[in-house]
């Protein structure tokens, strides 16, 4: 759909609640973010977010973007009755700004695991495409070819998602510590889903983080 109504969560609730089922929603962050602060009465995002109360939830959060996508993801999860929901970000080709998010809801932990597997592959491809696009734009702007190809040039710097990944990995470790503090002993499946709902945290990261706390989670020597 076009215009301001978009796909309101209440409007698509029957689809979201279908069992069995999972959903992938294209959340056009760049477009939405430009108009969130408008005071014009005909421009309302209540439908998009599934009801009022969204503005206070994002206004006072210093991490505005995380707050916006986090709120939408949580409301989609609640509206659809999904066991798990998460997202992955797609950036603009020529800048580090977010273009849109793919928000995913599933009822099965295996769906969450597969989504993170795909993200791990997609993020590298996204980075390659963005590097190519940026190099083409530079050459067109300057009229000069470059000594290195886009992928070779990227080896001299840090991939744009690595800083965000480091932040999320630290957050994932805190999630595990919090679960252990609260319950003392936790089932691995519960740890797996809680951690893999965090974007850019992948299965190998989960194994490493759990391994760091092997004694606390009851792993025996040589046990995976």
40-95 confidence digits (pLDDT tens): 655 678 888 998 888 888 877 778 899 999 999 999 999 999 999 999 998 887 77
How far apart, in whole angstroms, are the C-alpha atoms of residue 208 and residue 214? Answer: 10
Q: What does the pLDDT look like over 165-179, one tens digit per residue?
A: 999 999 999 999 999
Please tell me which residue, 112 or 211, carries the higher pLDDT value: 112
How far apart, in whole angstroms, are the C-alpha atoms of residue 159 and residue 156? Answer: 10
Q: Are 22 and 102 in contact (CB under 8 A)?
A: no
Task: Tell me the pairing of strands 23-27 and 98-106.
Answer: antiparallel
Q: What does the pLDDT look like over 119-143, one tens digit per residue?
A: 998 888 888 877 777 776 766 777 7
- Residue 157 confidence (pLDDT) above 50: no
DSSP state of 20: S
Please tell me which residue, 194 or 129, carries the higher pLDDT value: 194
Report yes or no on whether pTM surpasses 0.85: no
91: Cα within 13 Å, side-chain hemisphere:
21
How far apart, in whole angstroms, are the C-alpha atoms of residue 105 and residue 22? Answer: 6
Q: Are 116 and 97 in contact (CB under 8 A)?
A: no
DSSP state of 180: H
Per-residue tokens: 55: 């503005």
């Amino acid at each position: 759909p076009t215009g301001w109504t978009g796909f309101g969560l209440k409007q698509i609730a029957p689809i979201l609640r279908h069992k069995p089922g999972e959903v992938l929603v294209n959340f056009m962050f760049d477009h939405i973010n430009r108009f969130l602060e408008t005071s014009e009465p005909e421009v309302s995002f209540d439908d998009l977010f599934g009801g009022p109360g969204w503005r206070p939830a994002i206004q006072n959060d210093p991490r505005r973007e995380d707050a916006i996508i986090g709120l939408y993801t949580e409301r989609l999860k609640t509206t659809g009755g999904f066991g798990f929901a998460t997202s992955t970000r797609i950036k603009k080709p020529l800048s580090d700004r977010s273009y849109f998010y793919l928000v995913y809801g599933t009822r099965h932990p295996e769906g969450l695991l597969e989504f993170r597997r795909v993200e791990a592959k997609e993020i590298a491809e996204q980075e390659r495409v963005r590097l190519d696009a940026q190099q083409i734009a530079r050459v067109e702007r300057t009229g000069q070819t470059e000594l290195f190809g886009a992928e070779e040039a990227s080896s001299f710097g840090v991939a744009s998602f690595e800083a965000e990944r480091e932040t999320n990995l630290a957050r994932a470790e805190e999630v595990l510590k919090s679960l252990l503090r609260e319950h003392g002993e936790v089932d691995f499946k519960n740890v797996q889903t809680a951690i893999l709902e965090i974007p850019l945290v992948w299965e190998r990261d989960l194994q490493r983080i759990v391994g760091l706390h092997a004694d606390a989670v009851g792993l025996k020597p040589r046990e995976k």
